[in-house]
Amino acid sequence: MNAELSLPDFYWTGETEMACLRAVIKQTLRHGYAHHIQRLMVTGLFALLYGAHPRRVHEWYLAVYVDAVEWVELPNTLGMSQYADGGVMASKPYIASGKYIQRMSNHCAGCRFDPAKSTGPSACPFTTLYWDYLLRHEPVLGKNPRMSMQVRNLARLDGKQKAAIQKQAGEIRAAYSSPS
């Protein structure tokens, strides 16, 4: 899916304004553990939507989780979490907006970002990047029957909304990208 970016630096510190990532990463750095949903639907989801290179995500998981064993971590990370094996391990990318995290956890309570918003200063980066991911990969995702409902939701957005989402997604990537 053309994911080539380095992981944002906050993966190594937990210092981010996103409450969910801050909590999960700090727990991980403190204890060397996070449960499967935290790995898949918080750290993995952000990396996927952001466009982090799947190998960098895999290397991070191996470095930070005490229970990470390469023969398990590699297919789970590259296949399920990052959808980088072309659908061998998972039949569709595990993608969601910030609303999913809000429904499935208490991380959004007190976060400065609103998971219902995809643009503007209080928009949740997960939500912005979710819509951007769908927009960027619509031709590929549109061919996947398991993604048809999510891709069809793009029709609800007009051209101005799409452009605003893509602009904000670019700003998010620029803000979290490390200089080379």
pLDDT in tens, 27-39: 999 999 999 889 9
pLDDT band at 86 (very low <50, low <70, confident <90, very high): confident
Please check whether residue 47 is in contact with residue 82, taking contact to mean a CB–CB distance below 8 angstroms: yes
Long-range contacts of 57-66 (CB under 8 A, 24+ apart): 57/7, 57/81, 57/82, 58/82, 60/7, 60/11, 64/28, 64/29, 64/32, 65/28, 65/32, 65/33, 65/34, 65/39, 66/32, 66/33
What is the average per-residue pLDDT within 72-78? 85
- Residues 115-146 have pLDDT tens digits of 999 999 999 999 999 999 999 999 999 999 99
pLDDT band at 60 (very low <50, low <70, confident <90, very high): very high
Mean per-residue pLDDT of the chain: 95
pLDDT band at 179 (very low <50, low <70, confident <90, very high): low
> What are the structural domains, with CATH classification, of the chain?
113-173 (1.10.10.1710)
- Is a pLDDT exceeding 80 seen at residue 178? no
pTM of the model: 0.95
